Amino acid sequence: MNLDYIVREPEQITSSTPILFMLHGYGSNEQDLFSFREDLPKDWILISFRAPGSTEYEGFSWFDINFNNPENFIDIDQANEMVKVLIQNIMAIINHYGLTDSKTHLCGFSQGGILAYALALRHPELFNKVALMSTYPEEKLLTDIVKEKKKLENLRFFISHGTDDAIIPLEWGRKAADMLYDLSCYFSFREYMNGHGVNQKNYIDLMDFYAK
């Protein structure tokens, strides 16, 4: 399955040009995180995917969610399939641009963040900076992750969560700190006085993470 996406290309592209892949949340679309583009490094390629499933009000979804059942919040089979689809699309785009020496970054919000956790921890050798906002690590998607410290050492995680998030509880998001600590990963976990979204302070910290 080839996913639809929008792209911002720098003036020059070489084999070492960094690339950032963006995964939006449930009910949103590819324009959402792409709105960050003005403040992201100008020499990066930016790719913002559109999820293949549709939702109400002309939005899109990566997999089905059951808001009434916290024990089975997400459709695991669909999510697993989407991780495979995403890695195929990511590799195809990297090969298309000939990025043999570049760093590959991820940015995932909410539902997109759930997939970004799985992508980064299943394929740590591929990614570098991974930003995860208003999301959580779904244990059922992380049963076959890489645990070798040597393979995880290039990953850098920035995790943010609103203290008043009514969609994905803060307690769910906090699970990431314990998990990444146990894996000896480099990460920062930050909480903001906010709901299910990105406030100004969160945004500034996110841009600082990618700028370093």
The DSSP bridge pattern shows strands 5-8 and 156-162 to be unpaired
Place of tokens 């920062």: 188
Q: What's the pLDDT at 73?
A: 78
Q: Pull the structure tokens for residue 133.
A: 């906002």
Q: What's the pLDDT at 155?
A: 98
Q: What is the pLDDT of residues 129-168, one digit of tens each?
A: 999 999 999 999 999 999 999 999 999 999 999 999 999 9
With cut-offs at 50, 70 and 90, classify the pLDDT of residue 68: confident
Dihedrals φ, ψ of 204, to 5°? -60, -45
Average pLDDT, the chain: 96
Strand partners, 192: 162
Q: What is the pLDDT of residues 91-111, one digit of tens each?
A: 999 999 999 999 999 999 999
Neighbours of 89 (CB within 10 A): 18
Of 85, 95, 158, residue with least CA distance to 115: 85
Residue 67 has pLDDT above 80, yes or no: no
Q: What's the pLDDT at 69?
A: 73
Q: What is the pLDDT of residues 168-209, one digit of tens each?
A: 999 999 999 999 999 999 999 999 999 999 999 999 999 999
The pTM of the full predicted model, rounded to 2 decimals, is: 0.96
Q: What's the pLDDT at 61?
A: 97
Helix axes 111-122, 76-97, angle to 10 degrees: 70
